[in-house]
Amino acid sequence: QRDELLLGHARSAIIAGDYAVGEQELAQLASRRNALAPALAIAMEESRAELLRETGKQKEAVAALRGLLPKARQQLGEDAQRTLGLQLQLASALQLDGDYAGALEVVSDAAERHQRVLGAKHPQTLYAWNQLGIVENKLGHDEAAEAAFRRAANGRHSVLGDGHPATVMSQFNLGSFLIEHGRAAEGVPLVRSASGWLDANRPEGDDKVLVARSVLAYGLEDQGDLDGAERLLRGLLAAQE
């Protein structure tokens, strides 16, 4: 129980951005690695990979997750929820490292596994489809990207509801994709809705707030609403001063 509490504290520190504390506590656990239960040892290594990812060490995170995934499959089972989650983390690390082809291979398999094991409406399955959309879009696979984004957005709307942060981000991803591909009439309402939610729920100057306003301005300009686009862009410039 002490080790589980220590791991929980380390995770909380990483989430809070207190990376030095998280690293120190994970090192304490690693010194007793042989005495840890298999599931706890895997959870510890997962947190270590998360720390690497959060501190910008993407290649090291990829290597750590590539090494950890076979252990999880062997000790926890291929279809265990933690094993499936590790596969998504590997895809995310590959994406952040710029290896989109590698990320596509991993996240495609992960999405299908999640669908089969957890079901189409499980939040982790919907997360997998959203990640697949991001990677497909990066690779220029327009039809596949839109299909994955729609699957995630519609599923999250149905399961989590309009006001859930995950639903909002899926709507934003789909809307941004549509605007980017010359379909502002479809994309602007989605991005406007997401931007409004972010304005109400995130602090002024937050990166996601600013990005949503920028995308919305681009969509409004594409629709010919130059006054609306100008107001948003002036606000963005003022926020950065």
Which tens digit of pLDDT belongs to each residue from 1-10? 789 999 999 9
The CA-atom distances, in angstroms, between 74 and each of 39, 67, 82, 185 are 11, 12, 12, 49
Distance between CA 117 and CA 103 in Å, rounded?
21
Contact 93, 62 (CB under 8 A): yes
For residue 228, count CB atoms less than 10 angstroms from its CB and return exposed for 0-12, middle for 13-18, buried for 19 or more.
middle
Predicted pLDDT of residue 9: 94
Tokens read off for 170:
């899926």
Predicted pLDDT of residue 6: 93
Residue percentage of the chain with pLDDT more than 70: 100
Tokens read off for 178:
């549509």
Residue-averaged pLDDT of the chain: 94
Predicted pLDDT of residue 238: 80
Predicted pLDDT of residue 241: 65
Residue percentage of the chain with pLDDT more than 90: 87
- What letter does residue 33 receive in the DSSP assignment? G
Tokens read off for 173:
């991803």
Residue 153 phi/psi, 5-degree rounding, is -65, -45
50-72 pLDDT per residue, tens: 999 999 999 999 999 999 999 99
Predicted pLDDT of residue 109: 95
- Interval 149-175 mean pLDDT: 96
Contact 43, 82 (CB under 8 A): yes
* Banded pLDDT at 74 (limits 50, 70, 90): very high
* Banded pLDDT at 110 (limits 50, 70, 90): very high
- Interval 176-186 mean pLDDT: 96
187-204 pLDDT per residue, tens: 999 999 999 999 999 988
- Interval 19-46 mean pLDDT: 92
Tokens read off for 128:
């997998």
Contact 91, 135 (CB under 8 A): yes
